[in-house]
Amino acid sequence: MFVEGIDIPEGREPADPTEWPYSVPAVGRLLSEPLEFRAPVTFLVGENGSGKSTLVEGIAEAYGLDARGGRAGRKYANNRPKGDLGQRLRLDLSQRAARQRQRGRRSQTGFFLRAETTFGLAEAVSGLHGYWEEDLAEHSHGEGFLIILQSMFDKPGLYLMDEPEAALSFMSCLRLVGLVHDLAESGSQIICATHSPLLAAIPGADVIEVGDHGARRVRWEKLDMVDHWRRYLSDPGTYLRHIIDS
C-alpha cells in the first residue's frame, strides 16, 4: 500500500464548502471523515457527477502526479491548472510511500491514466526515453490504451486510473483485469474510478460506491450498476420501453 487514506484536515478547509467540488457529497465528507483504503485494489463507482473521478484526480495531484496524467516523477507542459482539491487533500501515506517521496520525485513509481487526456499525453511523450516504442497512430484507440497500460504499469507503485474501460472492448477489459491483478500481487496499489462491472469484479478488490449518500463500501453483487446491467442484459425491453416511444 502507498496511500492508506485521504482527508481534508483542519486548516485546509475551503472558504466556501458549498462550492464545487465540496458540494459533492463524496468530496464534502472528507472535511469531517477520512476515506480509508483497505486493499491493494480499490474501485470507486457511481453515477456521472458522483465525484469518483474528482477524488482520483485529487489523489493524483496530492501525490505529485501530473493532473493530465502520466508517470510518477515526470511533469509535462500543459495549461491545466492544479485543482483546488489536490492542494487541500492530506494523504495518509504508508512508511513505504513516505520513504520513496523523501528520496525525491524521480524515485517514485506509478502512473495516472485519465481516459479523456491519454492520447494528448501520448503526443507529448512520444519518442521520449522510458516510454513505449510503438507508434500509437498506427493502432486503434483501444489497442493504444493497452500499449500504454502494458508499458507503463510495469513495476510496483501507485497506479491511478479514471475510467480506463472507456476505450476497451470486453476482451480488452479482461486483459486489464489480469494486469491489475498482477500489479497488486507485485506490491502495487491501484485506485480506479470506473463504470465497469467487469473491472470491479476483480477478486479481493475493495469497492466503494459514491453518490448522494457520500461513500460506502458495497459488495460487488449488491452494486446498483451490477443490478442494472444484469437486468438490462436479461431483458433490454424493461428499460427501453421507458425511453423509446413504441
Domain range annotation of the chain? 3-240
**CB-count exposure of residue 160 (10 Å: 0-12, 13-18, 19+):** buried
Write down the pLDDT at residue 77.
Answer: 47
Helix segments in 80-169, DSSP class H: 84-88, 95-102, 118-125, 141-152
Find all residues with CB under 8 Å of 120, minimum gap 6, and list them: 68
Answer whether 210's CB lies under 8 Å from 223's CB.
Answer: no
Q: Which residues pair with 216 in a beta bridge?
A: 209
Query: In angstroms, how far is the first alpha carbon of the chain from the final one?
Result: 52
| Residue 57 in grid coordinates | 484526480
Q: What's the CATH fold of domain 3-240?
A: Rossmann fold (3.40.50)
Low-confidence ranges of the chain (pLDDT < 50): 77
CB atoms closer than 10 angstroms to residue 134: 13
Report the amino acid identity of residue 132: W
Dist. CA 55–CA 192, nearest whole Å: 10
Supply the pLDDT for residue 36: 98
Is 69 in a helix, a strand, or coil? coil
Give the distance, in angstroms, between the CA of residue 219 and the centroid of all CA atoms in the same chain.
19
pTM here is 0.91
C-alpha cell at 164: 480506463
- Whole-number Å distance between alpha carbons of 243 and 246: 9
The secondary structure of 155-189 as a DSSP string is SSSEEEEE-GGGG--HHHHHHHHHHHHHHHHTT-E
